[in-house]
Amino acid sequence: MNNSHVPENHSRSQPRILIVGTGAVGGFYGGKLAQSGARVAALCRSDYEVVKSKGIQVKSVYGDFHFTPKKVVRNVSEYGSPPDYILVALKVLPEIDTARIIKDAVGHDTAIVLLQNGIEIEDPVAQAFPENEIISGLAFICATRTSFGHIEHIDFGRVVIGLFPEGPSARVEKLANLFNKAGVPCDVTEDAVTARWRKLVWNAPFNPISVLGGCVDTKKMVENPESLKLARQVMEEVCKIAEAAGHPLPDDIEQENIDGTSKMAPYKTSMLVDFESGRPMEVEAILGNTIRVARRHGISVPRMESLYALLKLIEKQNR
């Protein structure tokens, strides 16, 4: 079959994907999906001009590559007929209304993939598009947008995706195949919410501590005995909440996260990168929402609350 003769929106072999947000995560995975043959467009904002004229250059431990989106838009209404997938890789911030941003591109058959950090971040989108399939996704990647149109990928890269809130999905399988075809390890889960709690075990301690502990990378956090202990205690708090919320995590997950972090190349967390750039941090997605779940279940999380309070204060100075 010669794909060039098949109309785009009827192609089964070339799904149309709109990446919303081309930071490190959106740019990297958008480029990888394009390598697998998907027709990948990108919604850009501050980096629109650069990406439109030069695309995105990715310096990657997997091998450097260039990503030229099929189309670069400033607004989803410029995109055309609804894509098969909208892959949202925006920061999760109170001031970013994802449902509003993607609204005009969501068709009946569009699956909305939220490749984002945090807890209970799917609800606003799921409520806005009750008929659409929502795919919850997690990127386990150490990557940073070093400047507009430039991404540096220093470690990992696996993604986990699953239908929200749970269950099997053909669209999820299809997307996973695209990731795998491009060499991106992709696990499919039928329990996306538990997967999100699993990832939080890492994010909840290391993102805040990296900022509050004096702008430190992962190596410094795990080498300092006091901050390592605090990280472990915050992980324990996450596990207690996850269990109370009906998503128990494996017993060895704390140790696994600490061992993994000790072995990886020194890495600046996304929260630290945002902080150092004077950009808003995902404080609510990572800690605020989690603390609210803890409260609903009567779980005490004093360490997480301490980190949250300090982040709220430091963020006020930073913006």
By residue count, the chain amounts to 319
Token readout for 49 is 């001009």
Catalytic residue among 71, 174, 181, 199: 199
CB of 229 to a second copy, least distance (A): 6
* Closer residue to a second copy, CB minimum distance, 6 or 309: 309
**Taking phi first (over 0 means left), then psi (-120 to 50 degrees means alpha), and beta for anything else, what does residue 113 get?**
beta
* Closer residue to a second copy, CB minimum distance, 21 or 205: 205
3-state secondary structure string across 268-314? CCHHHHHHHCCCCCCHHHHHHHHHHHHHHCCCCCHHHHHHHHHHHHH
CB of 118 to a second copy, least distance (A): 18
Task: Name the maximum alpha-carbon separation found in the chain.
Answer: 62
Question: E-strand spans in 21-95?
Answer: 39-43, 56-60, 65-67, 72-73, 85-88
* Closer residue to a second copy, CB minimum distance, 22 or 227: 227
CB of 296 to a second copy, least distance (A): 19
* Closer residue to a second copy, CB minimum distance, 7 or 214: 214
Comparing CA positions, the residue from 265, 137, 157 lying closest to residue 198 is 137
The binding site for a second copy (CB under 8 A) comprises 209, 212-216, 220-221, 224, 226-227, 229-230, 233, 302-303, 305-310, 312-318
CB of 261 to a second copy, least distance (A): 15
| Cα 54 to chain centroid, rounded | 24
DSSP string, 104-128: GG--TT-EEEEE--SSS-SHHHHHH
Other beta carbons within 10 angstroms of residue 159's beta carbon come to 24
CB of 231 to a second copy, least distance (A): 9
Token readout for 3 is 């794909």
Catalytic site includes residue 199 = yes
Burial of 19 (0-12, 13-18, 19+ CB in 10 A): buried
* Closer residue to a second copy, CB minimum distance, 130 or 225: 225
* Closer residue to a second copy, CB minimum distance, 161 or 209: 209
CB of 233 to a second copy, least distance (A): 7
139 φ, ψ to 5°? Answer: -110, 120
Task: List residues with catalytic annotation.
Answer: 199
